[in-house]
């Protein structure tokens, strides 16, 4: 007989030094939380911060101005860009003919 369980939680284990464990327990007690709650909340905060830092593009004022200028006044396409556009249009025409 097999037992089916719904996975509401996943388990995470970590080996840490006794000194670090004491430090984490002390920090948790200062917040009035359990060690587990403290570690989970701290890990969530660190994950959120890390994701935000790595998914957000930060530009200097000079780079931001240059980017905006290029969006507002883009340069004329060069030969490579024109060739790429022509190639793309040809590929799309061929794809449409095959699917029709």
Strand (E) or helix (H) holding 93:
helix 79-99
Report the C-alpha gap between 45 and 47 in whole angstroms: 5
Residue 59 DSSP one-character state: -
Where in the chain are the domains?
18-99
CB-CB contact of 26 with 11 (8 Å): no
pTM of model > 0.85 = no
Residue 13 has which token pair?
Answer: 């284990």
Write the pLDDT tens digit of every residue in 19-69.
999 999 999 999 999 999 999 999 999 999 999 999 988 889 999 999 999
């Amino acid at each position: 007989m097999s037992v089916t369980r719904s996975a509401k939680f996943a388990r995470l284990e970590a080996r840490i030094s006794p000194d670090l464990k004491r430090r984490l327990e002390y920090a948790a007690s200062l917040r009035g939380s359990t060690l587990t709650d403290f570690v989970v909340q701290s890990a969530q905060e660190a994950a959120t911060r890390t994701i935000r830092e790595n998914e957000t593009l930060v530009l200097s004022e000079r780079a931001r101005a240059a980017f905006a200028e290029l969006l507002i006044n883009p340069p004329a396409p060069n030969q490579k860009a024109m060739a790429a556009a022509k190639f793309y249009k040809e590929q799309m025409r061929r794809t449409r003919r095959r699917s029709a």
